[in-house]
Amino acid sequence: MIRLCTVSAIALAAGFSVSAAGAATLNVVCSNEQAWCDLMAQNFKIDTGVDVAMVRKSTGEVLAQIRAEAGNPKIDVWWGGTGDPHMIAAAEDLTEPSGVDTSELLGWARNMADMTDGKAIGVHVGLLGMIYNTEVVAEKKLDPPACWRDLAKPEYKGEIQVANPKSSGTAYTELATLVQLFGEDEGFKLLAEIGANINQYTKSGSAPGKAVARGETTIGIGFMHDMVNLKKQGFPVQIVAPCEGTGYETGAVSVIKGTPHLEEAKKWVEYVISADAQSAGLEVGVYNIPSNPGAKTDPDAPDMASVKLIDYDYKTYGSSETRTRLLERWDAEVKNAGGQIQE
Amino acid sequence: MKRTAGLWLLIGLIGYALLPWYLVGDPGFWRFGWLADPVLLGPSALVSLFQGRWWLAAPLVGFAAAGLTLGLCARQLAVARGLVGSGALGLLLMLAQGLLILGQGPRFGFPSGASQSGMGAGALVVAAALLFVLTTGISGLGKGRGDAFISGLVGAIVALVGLFVFYPMAFILVRAFELRDGSGFGFGEFLPRLFSPEIWSGACMVGAGWCGPAVNSVVLALATAAGTTLLGLAFALIVTRTEFRAKKLLRVLSILPIITPPFVIGLALILLFGRAGTITVGLYEVFGIEQTRWLYGFWGVWLSQMLSFTPIAFLVLIGVVEGVSPSMEEASQTLDADRWQTFRYVTWPLMRPGLANAFLLAFIESLADFGNPLVLGGNFDVLSTEIYFSIVGTVADPAQAAILSVTLLGLMLAVFLIQRQWVGKKNYATVTGKADSGRNAALNPVLRWTCYGVAIPWAMFTAMIYALIIFGSFVKLWGYDHSFTFEHYVRAFKIVVRNGVHFVGSAWDSYFTTLWIAGISAPLTAVVGLATAYLLVRQKFAFKSAFEFSTMLSFAIPGTVIGVAYVMAFNFPPVELTGTAIILVIVFVFRNMPVGVRGGIAAMSQLDKSLDEASIMLGANSFTTLRRVIMPLMGPAILAALTYSFVRAITSVSAVIFLVSAQYNMATAFIVGRVENGEYGISIAYASVLIVTMLACILLMQLMIGRRRLRRSDRVEAH
């Protein structure tokens, strides 16, 4: 007993010495890659003098948390991650307009702000694409895919991996893209045909790309900027922009409603949409497309001019009703249709 | 009784008059900032009362009633009744004002314009004082053998479990009754949704389609629990009953998986057994065995759970196997039984509580496990991952999460009841006060070689995985570019010595936070857990089974649900803790408490009651008995509880993911982020540092607590 008390006392004492820091700080929750989160926080602190406490969480986790904390938020700003949850948060009145000037941003970033009454401002775009492992393709003597329709070829049976749209925003973007490209009935037919080739529906959207990189599967679907990162790390992969055209996600920044640090939060928003701040992403391997036209980009990164893009309808496909309906249909017509699923 | 009650009354009044009633803003009381800067202390309840917050008189009513009782009543029974009444009254009134007057104003518009923030230190002390006045009264009524310490302990644990398990869980479970169209609550949809084929389908068993997550979870948990219990037993028998030379090494090896941050084992398994894994490729090249993806699914998850949870079974079983009295075994052999018969009919039945507890723990661990199914599950959906994704998935459905949680709890309840049936009401006491200097019977050769045959390959397998993990942290790109590098360690743990020491590595912040939070929560967990075990084994009181089950609850609830429930319950007054370090400590204490309870029960069932009775008869009260007689005999159980809760606080993911805040980030949350981004190198480097840190801490704890001395020679009978 006495020893236990001593142990806790020592631990407590150690704790105080670490947690002695105080003062008002801006609480930022970040849904980008950790290194990018850290770098932005560090640069912001240096450039503006405002102290930042930063934590990284996935978009679904952030949305669940700000819903639970509504009315008494412990987070001030939410930066990064796919745009859909930002739009949902805006629609549910969990975030508030920052009033920051967005006029110098690219069109899609301003669109996002307009659609949400300035609550969510676009910070980057990520394009949807395919990736395949060149070694495995050569070994199995397969033709690499070039289009969405190629994925339905019987020769790819058991070779394709994609995330589960019920758990991953990436996969939902893919589902919505195919529906917008081919029409709803035709899109689901194609999805079911591709479904027959799928070996695994992963939980996380970036998992298929990683599995391809390590040769665990042959072909994967995901966001191209993640794939560029894998390629730069040295994996034997090739990235494909589907020939029919592709969809995209818009990452955003939002100020949480009821924040006690509104002034500092505005500064953060202003900062992350500035050209200098966005250019820094290249230092840590961020290859998505920044929303400020003045920001630097990497020559290997996908750019919007060279890829055929669909006119992604956020208003329809971001709404809860469409989402629920499409996902129920996916459950019935794609997932339960089976295929090469091994349990 | 009067003296005890009077003392608590005094403590309560001091708390009321001097300590800050509310928790004060940023940095609040719970962030410990007030220690450094006492000016931040807010007004006490007494001061607030005179500033117009008249409702704060609520606890005073209780104190006044208790004071009157103590002053006016003379008869023992009357005093006791009065104390019970006044304690209960005070607590109820205090609770009522806390729940009715919130941060944004009163709940029902009365009293208008009133608002208050979350309760702080003063409220804590006052509530504790009222509670103990109440329990002292109860003991005065003759309950709990009239022992104020026992009734106080029961009262304190009930209150804590109520506040930190039931109160937050209520927020989630109530949503199970939510109607789909959002029109409110009702029972109509609850049963159909609970028993829907979506959850319970067994289609995959007959070879068609998908199995429901509940079916998957049960099959997996049974397989894991059976496997880990047997494997843990084999290890425990080898360590205690044979003269195996490398016992120490075996002990360390079997502990390793428990201190491994999540994802790391799964990652190593993929690199070994995945379609492009080293072993898979090797088998293909040498024997032409086809490269398949068998790892992603039931077998992969099972394998990784076996690796992760065997140590828990081992930790529970080793104390039990050690404790089985040699006298019994010697008696058996004197009666001409051979070694097998002795094991089968004497040792095995005496180990039942240990086996049952190990099985139960592994079953629950497997049900609630989140990291392994996430990495290796493939299309094998289990309840824990389904719950996570019904909260954070593309369509958030808290009602579905609640229903899945109810399913999970139901499964756990079923196994808990079966386990109790199997252990039964027999007496398992083998550590008695009687002279007991025999040696444990050696295992018969068949059993011994079976144990070796099972445990040694497993130990080698574990060792290989860890060698691989260490290797992975020193190479550039694990699996592809195996050139040696320190880069990952430097990025995570860089230190600059210029004008003092600066910890500039990206991992330092979360590393320090994790260690001190785990360091605070571990001893607290051990104290709460073992105290509960003591009550359950040694004391009799009303509703004991319900009490026992309620202490197990928090363990079975998946971390994600606990996390969200804590945010919902503790983000607003009367108890506002989110964004603080305290909430992390609390979540660990109440989540890991069941391990302390189970280990404590298993160890304590072996201590003969005559030891307590002798102590009580010699005039010691139950607190002294606990401290001087039982505690010293509980060494292994204390160590297990401490080790386990310390380690779990460092390695748990799902519960903390909603609770970590920008100021208080945890190591696992950091690692998960890196793994998601595919930066395996730095994740594994960080994990390796954590493993080494935890090993050092465990060794330190082992030194501090020491071994229990049973006055038995440690030797095993020579074969």
Residue A161 φ/ψ, nearest 5 degrees: -125, 140
Label residue A29 left, alpha or beta by phi (over 0 means left) and psi (-120 to 50 means alpha): beta
Q: Answer whether residue B588 shows pLDDT above 60.
A: yes
Residue among A1, A12, A166 whose CB faces B631 most closely: A1
Are B379 and A327 a contacting pair at CB < 8 A?
no
Kindly indicate the confidence band of residue B436, based on its pLDDT and cuts at 50, 70 and 90. Answer: low
Q: Which uninterrupted H or E stretch holds B497? A: strand B495-497
Structure-token pair, residue B260 = 């491994």
Whether residue B185 contacts residue B174, with contact meaning beta carbons closer than 8 Å, is answered with: yes
Q: How far is B402 from chain A (nearest CA, A)?
A: 14
The answer to whether A263 faces chain B, any CB pair under 8 Å, is no
Strand partners, A96: A255
How many Å apart are CA B215 and CA B202, to the nearest integer? 7
Nearest Cα to Cα of residue B270 among B300, B290, B292: B300
pLDDT, averaged across chain B: 79
Closest-approach residue (CA) in chain B for A202: B378
* Fold agreement (A25-125+249-298, A128-247+319-335): yes
Closest-approach residue (CA) in chain A for B523: A4
What would the mean pLDDT of B260-279 be, rounded to a whole number?
Answer: 82
- The model's pLDDT over B148-202, given as tens digits with 9 standing for 90+, comes to 888 888 888 888 888 888 888 888 788 888 776 666 677 777 777 777 777 777 7
Whether residue B290 contacts residue B210, with contact meaning beta carbons closer than 8 Å, is answered with: no
B65 vs B289, residue with greater confidence: B65
Structure-token pair, residue A48 = 């503006």
* Chain A residues with CB-CB distance to B567 below 8 A: 65, 68-69
- The model's pLDDT over B549-584, given as tens digits with 9 standing for 90+, comes to 777 777 767 777 788 788 878 877 777 777 778 888
Residue among A15, A35, A168 whose CB faces B520 most closely: A15
In a 3-state reduction of DSSP, which class is residue B193? helix
Residue among A11, A169, A260 whose CB faces B394 most closely: A169
Q: How far is A33 from chain B (nearest CA, A)?
A: 6
Whether residue B117 contacts residue B23, with contact meaning beta carbons closer than 8 Å, is answered with: yes
Q: Which fold has domain B488-705?
A: MetI-like fold (1.10.3720)
Assigned CATH class of A25-125+249-298: alpha beta
The answer to whether B339 faces chain A, any CB pair under 8 Å, is no
Binding-face residues of A in 118-137 toward B, CB within 8 A: 136
How many Å apart are CA B82 and CA B80, to the nearest integer? 5
What would the mean pLDDT of B326-355 be, rounded to a whole number?
Answer: 81
Residue among B32, B394, B578 whose CB faces A165 most closely: B394
pLDDT for residue A177? 92
* Fold agreement (B216-425+440-476, B488-705): yes
Q: Enumerate the domain spans of chain B.
A: 2-102+115-141, 216-425+440-476, 488-705
pLDDT for residue B47? 76
Residue among A19, A72, A84 whose CB faces B32 most closely: A19
The answer to whether B524 faces chain A, any CB pair under 8 Å, is yes
The answer to whether A213 faces chain B, any CB pair under 8 Å, is yes
With pLDDT > 70 as the criterion, what percentage of chain B qualifies? 87
B140 vs B102, residue with greater confidence: B140
Closest-approach residue (CA) in chain B for A233: B477
The answer to whether B526 faces chain A, any CB pair under 8 Å, is yes
Q: Enumerate the domain spans of chain A.
A: 25-125+249-298, 128-247+319-335
How many Å apart are CA B408 and CA B557, to the nearest integer? 7
Q: Any residues with CB less than 8 A from the CB of A144 and at least 6 apart, and which? A: A132, A134, A137, A238, A240
Most confident of A61-65, A255-259, B463-467, B476-480: A255-259
Q: What is the 3-state secondary structure (H, E, C) of chain A?
A: CHHHHHHHHHHHHHHHHHCCCCCCCEEEEECCCHHHHHHHHHHHHHHHCCCEEEEECCHHHHHHHHHHCCCCCCCCEEECCCHHHHHHHHHCCCEECCCCCCCCCCHHHHHHHHHCCCCEEEEEEEEEEEEEEHHHHHHCCCCCCCCCHHHHCHHHCCCEEEECCCCCHHHHHHHHHHHHHHCHHHHHHHHHHHHCCEEEEECCCCHHHHHHHCCCCCEEEEEHHHHHHHHHHCCCEEEECCCCCECEEEEEEEEECCCCCHHHHHHHHHHHCCHHHHHHHHHHCCCCEECCCCCCCCCCCCCCCCCCECCCCHHHHCCHHHHHHHHHHHHHHHHCCCCCCCC
Per-residue model confidence as pLDDT tens for chain A (343 residues): 444 444 444 444 444 333 333 456 888 999 887 778 888 998 998 889 888 888 888 888 888 888 888 877 888 999 988 888 898 899 889 999 988 888 888 888 888 888 889 899 999 988 999 999 999 999 889 999 999 999 999 999 888 999 888 888 888 899 999 999 999 999 999 999 998 888 888 877 888 998 898 888 999 999 998 888 888 888 899 999 999 999 888 889 999 998 888 999 999 999 999 999 999 888 888 888 888 888 888 887 777 777 888 888 887 887 878 888 998 898 888 876 654 444 4
Closest-approach residue (CA) in chain A for B663: A53
* Chain B residues with CB-CB distance to A210 below 8 A: 678
Q: Does domain B216-425+440-476 have CATH number 1.10.3720.10?
A: yes
The answer to whether B179 faces chain A, any CB pair under 8 Å, is no
Q: Which uninterrupted H or E stretch holds B106? A: strand B105-106
Closest-approach residue (CA) in chain A for B398: A64
How many Å apart are CA A64 and CA A66, to the nearest integer? 6
Q: How far is CA B524 from CA A3, B159, B305, B702, in A?
A: 12, 16, 27, 17
How many Å apart are CA A38 and CA A28, to the nearest integer? 11
* Chain A residues with CB-CB distance to B660 below 8 A: 55
How many Å apart are CA B595 and CA B312, to the nearest integer? 9
Nearest Cα to Cα of residue B107 among B573, B528, B593: B573
Kindly indicate the confidence band of residue B431, based on its pLDDT and cuts at 50, 70 and 90. Answer: low
The answer to whether B263 faces chain A, any CB pair under 8 Å, is no
Which of B117-126, B341-350, B423-432, B581-590 is the least confident region? B423-432
The answer to whether A232 faces chain B, any CB pair under 8 Å, is no
Q: Which uninterrupted H or E stretch holds B101? A: strand B101-102
Which of A237-246, B21-30, B384-393, B571-580 is the least confident region? B21-30
Q: Answer yes or no: pTM beyond 0.90.
A: no
ipTM comes to 0.80
* Chain B residues with CB-CB distance to A4 below 8 A: 523, 526-527, 638, 642
The answer to whether B477 faces chain A, any CB pair under 8 Å, is yes
Are B567 and A65 a contacting pair at CB < 8 A?
yes
Nearest Cα to Cα of residue A66 among A262, A258, A205: A258
Pairing of strands A289-290, A120-133: antiparallel
Our measurement of the distance from residue B575's CA atom to the centroid of its chain's CA atoms, rounded to an integer in Å, reads 22
B586 vs A315, residue with greater confidence: B586
Q: Is the peptide bond before B168 cis (omega within 30 degrees of 0)?
A: no
Residue among A15, A28, A166 whose CB faces B393 most closely: A166
Q: How far is CA A29 from CA A84, B186, B208, B600, in A?
A: 16, 36, 43, 40
Q: How many CB pairs under 8 A join A and B?
A: 216
Closest-approach residue (CA) in chain B for A327: B395
Alpha helices for B242-290 (secondary structure H): 247-255, 264-273, 278-287
The answer to whether A140 faces chain B, any CB pair under 8 Å, is no
Q: How far is B705 from chain A (nearest CA, A)?
A: 8
pLDDT for residue A12? 45
Q: What homologous superfamily is domain A128-247+319-335 in, according to CATH?
A: Periplasmic binding protein-like II (3.40.190.10)
Are B396 and A234 a contacting pair at CB < 8 A?
no
